[in-house]
Structure 1
Amino acid sequence: MMVARGLVEEIAAALAAQGLIPRGGFRFAGDEAAPTGASGGAAISVLLVGQAGVAPWSHFQHWLERQHLPIVNPLDTWSREVIGTVAKNFGARAVSPSDRPYLPFQQWAMRAEGLKPSPLGILMHPKYGLWHAYRAALLFEDEIALPVADAAIHLCDACVEKPCLKSCPVDAYSGQGFAHEACLDHVRGPHGSPCRIGGCLDRNACPYGTSYRYPPEAQAFHMAAFAKL
């Protein structure tokens, strides 16, 4: 069954009220072990939901100010609430990158938008650079009309200097991967205030998508969540 064309546009309008956007999608292959949709049947189509830049930040902050009790993971909670409402209104099941068991969100994103990982592991977007995120996926038990993703230019291939690998004082990112403990110790330690206040120095050193860079307060929020400060 093909759902009427224009559904993605309607979903986009609903998401825009919270600063969120559709982030591409695809149809699961017939032999693929797809997750379930809203009624428990196998999903046929998936539409990713996320952000470009800091557009959702003010909406999230206004929501957070209205909460009367502390919330352990407020951004995840907000995302589930607002995207869950959109999913329900359009007959889909919303799943989150932090749901257990984990779903292959990065692989889905690469498939949906044709992106590749940067040296930092974050997918490099040809317009947004490293300043974007995926907040959920909408799972449909019908085939929906989705835009076809063009092959995206991978900006990292043209970046010779790789400043994203030269700005961290503890060399957290390298060809050997991410040195999680070294990064965590530094951020929590006496010399980690630049990272705590303004975000990851390696990420901020990337020359692409700078007009979408998160403001310091948003970066500090994410860094505090990473370090559990």
Structure 2
Amino acid sequence: MIAALATALAAERLFLSGSLHQEGETIYLVSPDEPGFWAHFTASPEFRDGAAHPLDRWSERVIAPIAAAFGGHGLFPFGTPRTSFIPLILASGQAFTSPIRFPVHARMGLLASYRGAIAVPGLHDLLPPATSPCIGCAAPCRVACPIEAFSDAGYDVRSCYAYLDTPEAVDCTSGGCLARRACPASQGYGRLPEQTAWHMRQSLK
């Protein structure tokens, strides 16, 4: 199951980023396979048609038929019905709670992105469990934010977004969250700066 599913996803520059058993199903999380995903997505009709939510629309169009081909169905962190992904991510064997409390993925680091999941009936093989990239890490993510939006109290969303609306935040708005980018695992993931900047602009709309 894993090998065949990975092959089908690779054709769309996606990879299996986690797996778990839940209520008689096997759930496989799906993420962008870098480098290469951004060029693939930006060539799609969804990116070019000017309509809202291009990446969400692309994800559903691509992932749903792959899920159906394996006798399953797609789950998505957007739209209706919307699936809560954080519990799935943290139970997937590949992601962990980071020092700034955001999920950190063994391969993607703090730049982890989940485009959807594929739920297949039955208990199939899971990916081998990964080791947290935070073990032995100096945690540069904790000190990278220019306004210290991350603390033991959690993520100060209000202060973060207020800062992003100022000229001083150009490094964040043009290249993405500095805390996420500071993660060594993120830096080894291969995601292009222009993709991270695009995600930041989308979040500010």
The answer to whether the superposition gives a TM-score over 0.5 is yes
Of 118-127 and 90-99, more deviation after overlay is shown by 118-127
| Percentage identity across paired residues of the two chains | 30
Consecutive unaligned residues of structure 1, counting only runs of 5 or more, are 1-6, 30-42
User: Where do residues 2-151 of structure 1 align in structure 2 (5 Å cutoff)?
Assistant: 7-29=1-23, 44-64=25-45, 67-68=48-49, 70-140=50-120, 142-150=121-129
Q: 3-state SS of the aligned residue for 1:113?
A: coil
Q: Give the deviation of 1:101 after TM superposition.
A: 5.0
Query: 1:124, 1:130 within 8 Å by CA — same for their partners in 2?
Result: yes
Query: 1:19, 1:55 within 8 Å by CA — same for their partners in 2?
Result: yes
Query: 1:46, 1:138 within 8 Å by CA — same for their partners in 2?
Result: yes
- Normalising to structure 1: TM-score of the pair? 0.79
Q: Give the deviation of 1:66 after TM superposition.
A: 6.9
Query: 1:120, 1:203 within 8 Å by CA — same for their partners in 2?
Result: no
Structure 1's 190 and 48: CA in aligned 2 closer, same or farther, altered over 3 A?
same
- Normalising to structure 2: TM-score of the pair? 0.88
Structure 1's 65 and 84: CA in aligned 2 closer, same or farther, altered over 3 A?
closer
State whether structure 2 residue 143 is matched by structure 1 residue 174. no
1:38-75 CA-to-partner distances (Å, cap 9, x unmatched) read xxxxx62222211243432111100047744x221111
Q: 3-state SS of the aligned residue for 1:133?
A: coil
Q: 3-state SS of the aligned residue for 1:181?
A: helix
State whether structure 2 residue 174 is matched by structure 1 residue 197. yes
Q: 3-state SS of the aligned residue for 1:77?
A: helix
For residues 112 and 95 of structure 2, the distance between their equivalents in structure 1, rounded to whole angstroms, comes to: 12
Q: 3-state SS of the aligned residue for 2:114?
A: strand
State whether structure 2 residue 142 is matched by structure 1 residue 165. yes
1:51-108 CA-to-partner distances (Å, cap 9, x unmatched) read 243432111100047744x221111111111111212222211111123454231221
Structure 1's 66 and 207: CA in aligned 2 closer, same or farther, altered over 3 A?
closer
Correspondent of 2:131 among 147, 153, 159 = 153
Q: Give the deviation of 1:164 after TM superposition.
A: 0.9
Consecutive unaligned residues of structure 2, counting only runs of 5 or more, are none
Number of aligned positions between the proteins: 205
Q: Give the deviation of 1:16 after TM superposition.
A: 0.6
For residues 119 and 47 of structure 2, the distance between their equivalents in structure 1, rounded to whole angstroms, comes to: 30
For residues 80 and 47 of structure 2, the distance between their equivalents in structure 1, rounded to whole angstroms, comes to: 28
Q: Give the deviation of 1:221 after TM superposition.
A: 0.4
Tell me which stretches of 4 or more aligned residues in structure 1 moved more than 6 Å.
none
Query: 1:24, 1:146 within 8 Å by CA — same for their partners in 2?
Result: no
Q: Based on CA coordinates, which of the two structures has the bigger radius of gyration?
A: 1
Structure 1's 103 and 66: CA in aligned 2 closer, same or farther, altered over 3 A?
closer
Structure 1's 107 and 54: CA in aligned 2 closer, same or farther, altered over 3 A?
farther
